[in-house]
Structure 1
């Protein structure tokens, strides 16, 4: 059941350390469609909107010298970004062919669903969760 107050996620925003590298990773390697790309001159910053699925987008930002994100061991804040996939083996094989290393596939002890993780160019953990 969805929340009547907050029924859907509209977007997730990420700040990257190397805009060109992250743009290529999310649009070419992962295959998200570019909706728009804007250079914000006053901030010396790029903003890239990518379509994840109908009505859900990923915003990729660049800023001059952003501080690194604590990632591991577990740090407070965003833990990871997760994507639902129908066939985890096929997605892992495609990512492998595109040069992306995934962790071994595991099984969620509570749901029985299979999942794995890989990292974006800045080390952000990304989960694949088999539906």
Structure 2
């Protein structure tokens, strides 16, 4: 039986920039960090407070995400928060661009979006 999500893997273009973003802006902690010489690739395992993990990878050959295009595959990554407005203000204090807060018409919950350094859409979604 599936019991939840263990990790989500992201390929990033600038390892140090993305590492700093997910540590300092998103608030992850480092679980493990490895350079894989045979692939010329970094793998960084990060944890969110609830134990869910994010893996950041670098690869020398990769495709960039097209801005404004809804590709097949992962659409966005949503983070659970108790106070969307408070988190929006915190992100904006770090000069992260955040969309206006909206209300999900189906659940009545507040949400908003921002992007990581590679333009990957990230969502703040209210659990209250």
What is the TM-score normalised by the length of structure 2?
0.94
Query: Secondary structure of the residue that 1:59 maps to in structure 2?
Result: strand
Q: Deviations over 1:16-49 (max 9, x none)?
A: 0111110010012222101111000111100000
Structure 1 portions without partners, runs of 5+: none
Map 1:48-63 onto structure 2 (within 5 A). 48-63=44-59
Q: Which moved more, 1:27-36 or 1:63-72?
A: 63-72
TM-score (norm 1): 0.92
TM-align CA RMSD? 1.1
**Comparing 66-75 and 50-59, the one that deviates more:** 66-75
- 2:102 is the alignment partner of 1:106: yes
User: What is the distance in 1 between the residues matched to 2:73 and 2:11?
Assistant: 14
Q: Which structure 2 residues correspond to residues 87-102 of structure 1 after superposition, within 5 A?
A: 87-102=83-98
1:67 is matched with which residue: 47, 53, 63? 63
Query: Distance between the aligned counterparts of 1:99 and 1:129, measured in 2?
Result: 20
Change (3 A) 1:84 1:54: closer
What are the residue-to-residue correspondences of 1:29-40 with 2, within 5 Å? Answer: 29-40=25-36
* Correspondence for 2:119 among 112, 117, 123: 123
